[in-house]
Amino acid sequence: MVVELSQVDDYALLRLNRPEALNALSFAILRDIGAALDEVATWKVRALVVTGAGEKAFCAGADIKELRGRPMIECKRGAEFGQAVFAKLERLPFPSIAAINGFAFGGGLELALACTFRVATANAKLGLPEIKLGLIPGYGGTQRLPRVIGEARALDMILLGRTVGAEEAERIGLVHRIVTGSAVDGAVALMREFSSYSLLALGFARDAVTRALDVPIHEGLKIEADLSTLAFGTSDAAEGMAAFSEKRKAIFTDE
C-alpha cells in the first residue's frame, strides 16, 4: 500500500510509501489519504504524524501526468476533492505534525500546511512551484500559506515559484522546528511536549486560534470566551486546577 497507517505507542503514523516517485500524489492516493484520516479520527491516540518514505521527499506534489488534458469541470472537482481531503486534518480530535524529510512541493507542501505543526530536516526544500507550469496551487496553498507566513512572503513564494530551505522556512514560520536525525523522531519529540495535556483543551485552543484568522477581533473574542467557558466545564480543567493547588502533576483523562 502507498498510504500506510499504523499506531506507534500513543500516536498514529501516516506514511506515503512511494519513494520511487518522491511520494507524489495521485487521485487514488488522495482517496486513500482521506480514508486513512477518517479511520484515524476514531483512534485513541494523542497525535498524528504524517511523513513520506525515504530520505529524498516528504511529498513532491501532484502526479502531473494525471493533470494533463482534463476538462475544466474535472479540474475544479479535483481541486475541491484535494481541499476536502486535507481539511480532514484540521478536524481531527488531536493535533497533527508533518515530519518533512526532503522535498515538500506543491500538493506536498499543501498537505503539510494542513497539519497543526511542521518539523523539517536540515535538507528539506519547500515550495509551491505551480506558477512555473502556468498553474496556481489548488489544494489550499493560496489560503493556508499567507495565514502561516503572511501575505508578502506568501506572494513571494507563490508568484515567483520560489523554493525555501529549512533554515529560511523556520525563520519565516513555515516550519516550527528543524530537527536532526529522523524527521519522525523529531515530530514525536515535539508531540511529547503536549501529549500529556488535555486533548479537549488542545482542541479548544487550536479552534480558537484558527478561527481568529477568519473573523474580526471582536468576533474572535466572543469565540474565545465561548471556548474558554467550555474548557472550564471539563473534568480536565477541574483536575488541572486541583493539581496546581496541590503542587502535583495533573493527570488528564480527556473528559
Active site residues: 110, 130
Place of cell 471539563: 234
Q: Among 237, 212, 232, which residue's Cα sits nearest to residue 223?
A: 212
CB 182 within 8 A of CB 92: no
Cα dihedral: 163, 24, 173, 89 (round 10): 160
3-state secondary structure the chain: CCEEEEEECCEEEEEECCHHHCCCECHHHHHHHHHHHHHHCCCCCCCEEEEECCCCEEECCECHHHHCCCCHHHHHHHHHHHHHHHHHHHCCCCCEEEEECCEEECHHHHHHHCCCEEEEECCCEEECHHHHHCCCCCCCHHHHHHHHHCHHHHHHHHHHCCCEEHHHHHHCCCCCEEECCCHHHHHHHHHHCCCCCCHHHHHHHHHHHHHHCCCCHHHHHHHHHHHHHHHHCCHHHHHHHHHHHCCCCCCCCCC
Place of cell 511529498: 59
